[in-house]
Structure 1
Amino acid sequence: MIKLEKPATPQILIDKSADWTSTLLALVQQYSEYSKIPTTVKETVLKNYRHVQIKEALYPSSNKKCAFCESFPEDSGNIEVEHFHPKSLYPSEAFDWNNFLPCCRKCNSAKSDHDTKTSPIINPYIDDPENHLDVETICLKPKDQLGQNTIDVCQLKGTRLYRPFSDLLVNFKQFEDDLKDALDELAEKNTPIKKRNHLIKIREAIDRLENLMKPQSQYSFFCKKTITSSNVYQRAKILLEKEDAKAS
């Protein structure tokens, strides 16, 4: 999970959210509570929060990943418009732009109607997940109760994340070994050209690693925490910074 920036409210919500909200609240009053509204009747109103203009505005803000687990749709079911505060409990926020986030079907199902007001979880549009989560081997590790709640409520644990995290970790460890060998071999290069060419290879290797940490990459939080905690990565970064300083 990474920090996200909410884009401007789409025009369709500026124009229609008040009317849609009024219609839904009238149904709640008519049937005495949200859960008693017939599904077909409720859907005639709720379908509006899945309007194409809302999706087109919302999904790019997470690089079309799930805002919670950072998976892509092909790995965890379709990305859906999720209500951070559940619409079943807070129908007045069913069409509130600030209450929407992109969520995969698995996280959406796990979160269900959890009351995020009485038992808060991380909202990546408001909270910086780095303040609340860390990584330990192939697991997300909470730094505080907000992080723990988020892991538990969205089920950010178990095979669905352990498996891809494990694959990433195995690949990284192999890459780390290769990078360490490259750093050790650099001292053996006895001509400026050989040293320069070897430095280019190291720089390219670092660039490939850092691409995994970019917001548009899958599981970028896990990759960033894993890579930046590597002594070999830090050693290579310091070396390249020194070389850049010499060249400037």
Structure 2
Amino acid sequence: MIKLERSKKPAYLTAEKVEELTNKFKATKASVWKHAEIGEALLDSSSFKCAYCECPLQIEDSYMQIEHFKDKDTYPDYVVDWENLLPSCQRCNRKKWTLDVVIEPIVNPYVDYPKNHFFLEEFRLYAKDLKGEITISKLDLNDDKRLVLPRFLASNEIASQLDSIFRNIINLDEARKSLSKLLNSCQADSPYAAFLSTCLHGKKEYQILKELLKSEEINLWDDEMEELDFRSKQLTLDRR
């Protein structure tokens, strides 16, 4: 899980429309939140990933479901409140279901900083506090087949590419280009970005390459590389 920035509220959700849709839901239980503008804005804000588990959305069996952080049955006044809506995969949405987040608070990646609540070890999440513990438990964020294995495969690819760059340095300009591509694949728009960035920044080979390119003799670590490095490092989780 990574920190997300909520995008601008869709023009569709005017104050009048929100009131209309809220009243309609209360009267009929209709799925008033299902609207193209809402879905598109949510997907854009998370880079087409589940806000909770970071799996890619809109592929195979991981199509987006609009999730209500405060569940719509207990808190109907928030049924189309923009601040209450998240893009979720079906798995996470079903796991959370009607959990009352007021009574049992979980991490909201649009509000909380996941790094304050989770440790990472061996492609699994561990809690730093009670909110982290409840989040991991209720959302089953260490689901071996659906989450731990994909995290491992994605992180292993990062490690493999890094190893290849490190062991095959012939041309430093080419090494810089290859490392730039690797850094780009560890940004916030990548599935499982928290794990990919933590994997990359935790490798001694990466630190050696970084220092080599930054050295006065080489001087190939430019502003673009610095920005990619900084942005990816912000996504890392502390190791347990």
Q: What residue is the counterpart of 1:172 in the other structure?
A: 158
Q: In the alignment, does 2:205 pair up with 1:219?
A: no
- What secondary structure is seen at the aligned counterpart in 1 of 2:103? coil
Q: What residue is the counterpart of 1:204 in the other structure?
A: 177
Q: In the alignment, does 2:7 pair up with 1:7?
A: yes
> Which one of the candidate residues 80, 84, 93 is aligned to 2:65?
80
Work out the CA distance in 2 between the residues paired with 1:93 and 1:20: 10
1:215–1:246 distance in 2 versus 1, CA, 3 Å: closer
Q: In the alignment, does 2:86 pair up with 1:111?
A: no
Whether the 8 Å CA contact 1:58–1:102 is kept in 2: the answer is yes
Work out the CA distance in 1 between the residues paired with 2:124 and 2:71: 27
Count, aligned residues = 218
1:181–1:13 distance in 2 versus 1, CA, 3 Å: same
Work out the CA distance in 2 between the residues paired with 1:55 and 1:109: 18
Which of the pair is proportionally richer in helix? Answer: 1
Work out the CA distance in 2 between the residues paired with 1:75 and 1:224: 25
Work out the CA distance in 1 between the residues paired with 2:39 and 2:220: 46
Work out the CA distance in 2 between the residues paired with 1:22 and 1:154: 30
1:246–1:96 distance in 2 versus 1, CA, 3 Å: closer
The 5 Å alignment of 1:1-248 reads 1-14=1-14, 15-25=16-26, 27=27, 41-43=28-30, 47-73=31-57, 74=59, 76-158=61-143, 159-182=145-168, 198-242=171-215, 243-244=218-219
- Structure 2 unmatched ranges of 5 or more: 224-240
Work out the CA distance in 1 between the residues paired with 2:109 and 2:137: 16
Deviation at 1:170, TM superposition (A): 3.0
Deviation at 1:119, TM superposition (A): 1.0
TM-score, normalised to structure 1's length?
A: 0.80
Whether the 8 Å CA contact 2:52–2:88 is kept in 1: the answer is yes
Q: Which moved more, 1:89-98 or 1:202-211?
A: 202-211
Work out the CA distance in 1 between the residues paired with 2:80 and 2:104: 22
* Root mean square deviation, CA, Å: 2.2
- What secondary structure is seen at the aligned counterpart in 2 of 1:135? strand
Q: What residue is the counterpart of 2:229 in the other structure?
A: none
Code of the residue aligned with 1:161 in structure 2: it is: L
Deviation at 1:116, TM superposition (A): 0.8
- What secondary structure is seen at the aligned counterpart in 2 of 1:11? coil
| Identical-residue share of aligned pairs (%) | 33
Residues 107-137 of structure 1: CA deviation (Å, up to 9, x unaligned): 1011111111111111111112122223212
Residues 196-248 of structure 1: CA deviation (Å, up to 9, x unaligned): x5212321232232122111111111101111111111111111111328999
Deviation at 1:61, TM superposition (A): 0.4
**Structure number with bigger Rg:** 1
Whether the 8 Å CA contact 1:55–1:81 is kept in 2: the answer is yes
1:247–1:111 distance in 2 versus 1, CA, 3 Å: closer
Residues 125-176 of structure 1: CA deviation (Å, up to 9, x unaligned): 1112122223212212322222222111111112211111221233333334
- What secondary structure is seen at the aligned counterpart in 2 of 1:12? coil
Work out the CA distance in 1 between the residues paired with 2:65 and 2:111: 19
Whether the 8 Å CA contact 2:116–2:128 is kept in 1: the answer is yes
Work out the CA distance in 2 between the residues paired with 1:90 and 1:247: 50
Work out the CA distance in 1 between the residues paired with 2:44 and 2:60: 18
Work out the CA distance in 1 between the residues paired with 2:221 and 2:201: 24
Deviation at 1:76, TM superposition (A): 4.7
Code of the residue aligned with 2:201 in structure 1: it is: T
